[in-house]
Amino acid sequence: MFDLFATVVNGLEDVAASEVEALTGRPASVDVGKIFFSGDVESIFRVNYCSRTINRVVILLLRKSFGSGIGLDDIYSSASALDYASFITEGQSFAVRAKRSGKHNFTSMDVASEVGRAIIDSFRRDTGHRLRVDLENPDVEFLVLVRDGEFIMGINTTGEALHKRRYRVFSHPAALNTTIASAMLMISGWSFEEPLVDPMCGGGTIPIEAALMARGIPPGRFRGGDYAFFKLEFLDLEVFRRVADEALSRISSGVYPIYGLEVNPKYLDGALKNAESAGVGDTITLRVGDAMRLRDHLSFTPRYIVTNPPYGIRMRRGRMDRFYARFLRSLREVAEGSTLTLITAAKRGFLRAVEEVGLDILERRDLLYGDLRASIFKCRVR
C-alpha cells in the first residue's frame, strides 16, 4: 500500500475525490488543489489510466507542517531523512520540480535545489553512490509543494499532466481543459441516455469527453506508454497491463444523444477531426449552428446543456452582458426545464444576464483555471 495524492484544478477537488473513490474503492480527502488517498500498485495504474478529472498521481513520501516558520534548513533536513534506495537505483537519474505558494524568503528554485541536495546526500549516505541529476529526461521525478508552512514531497507517477489527452489534432485558440470539461459533465448530473448539447463547442472538447464517458473509453488509451511509472522499477508493470486490458475490454459502441453546435465552420472542422482522432466521430453529432438562434437548429429539447462560451475578456461590459442575455433567451426557447452548466470568467456579466432573463442558479463553484479565476454555474432553465 502507498500513501498517494493527486493534483487537481482548484475548485474541483470534491469532484475528483468522488471519481478516485469510485475507481479505487477507498476514501479520498480533499485539500487545496489536490486530494489524498491510499492505494496499492493497481490503484496507481487505474487512476492514471482511467481518471478524467485529475492531473497527476503522486506517491506521497512526506507531508509535514512547520507552521509559519518554515525555512530551507527545515526542508533540507526533512528531505534528507528519507530512504530513497527503495524508489531509485544507482544507475537512474532524477530531477526535482518544486512549486511554492505563500510568503517565504526563498523561491521555488531554492526549494528544488535544497531537496535535490538532500536526495543526493541521503542516497550517498545509505548506499555510497552519488545519484545523477537529469533535468530534461529524468528516470524519477520528485514533486515538491510548499504552501505556507506545509511541505509535501512525492514521486510523480504520471509524467505530463493527464489533461493533455493526446487525441487533439486541432487546437482551438480557447480550448477548454479536458479535466474541467469532464468535471462539468459530472457536475451537470447528465445521464448518458438524455440529450446533451454544447451550443458553443469550439474544438469539440465537451462533446468528445461526453462520448468517451458514455462509451467507457479510458483517457489513458491515448497516451500509450508515455507514463512516468514506466521508469519506476519498484512498480510491477504486469499489473498495469492487466488494468489497461480490463479497462479496454469494457468499452462499448453505439450512438448517444450528444450534440455540438459551432458557428465558425473552421472550428467545426477542427472539432470533427478531434472527434475522429478520439474514435468517437460515429458516436456524436457535430454541426454548424448559432447558439443565439437555437430554435433554428434543434428539433428536440436538450435536457442538459454544458458549454464553455467566450469569456469576453477583451469585450466591454455592455457587449458581454448582451451576449449572455441573447444566449440565455435563445436557450429558454428550446430548453425550458433543462439544466445548464456553464463556465465563465465574466461572472458579473453572466449573473446580470441570469437575473434579466430569469434562470435559477442551482450551484456555483469558483475555480482557478491556470492564472484565470473562473466560475462554473449550474442553472435551471425556466
Q: What is the pLDDT along the chain (382 residues), one digit of tens a residue?
A: 999 999 999 999 999 999 999 999 999 999 999 999 999 999 999 999 999 999 999 999 999 999 778 999 999 999 999 999 999 999 999 999 999 998 999 999 999 999 999 999 999 999 999 999 999 999 999 999 999 999 999 999 999 999 999 999 999 998 999 999 999 999 999 999 999 999 999 999 999 999 999 999 999 999 988 999 999 999 999 999 999 999 999 999 988 999 999 999 999 999 999 999 999 999 999 999 999 999 999 999 999 999 999 865 445 556 888 999 999 999 999 999 999 999 999 999 999 999 999 999 999 999 988 788 999 999 999 8
Rounded to whole angstroms, the Cα distance separating 190 from 206 reads 12
Q: Do 48 and 162 touch, CB atoms closer than 8 A?
A: yes
Sequence letter at residue 246: E
Amino acid (1-letter code) at residue 55: N
Q: Which three cell numbers stand for residue 281?
A: 466521430
pTM (predicted TM-score): 0.95
Alpha carbon distances (Å) from 60 to 2, 63, 64, 240: 7, 7, 11, 20
Rounded Cα distance, 192 and 372, in Å: 31
Query: Measured between alpha carbons, how far is 237 from 114 in angstroms, rounded to an integer?
Result: 32
Q: How far apart are CA 339 and CA 196, in angstroms?
A: 10
Closest listed residue to residue 297, CA positions, set 307, 285, 309: 285
CA–CA gap between residue 34 and residue 29 (Å, rounded)? 9
| Residue 149, all three cell numbers | 508552512
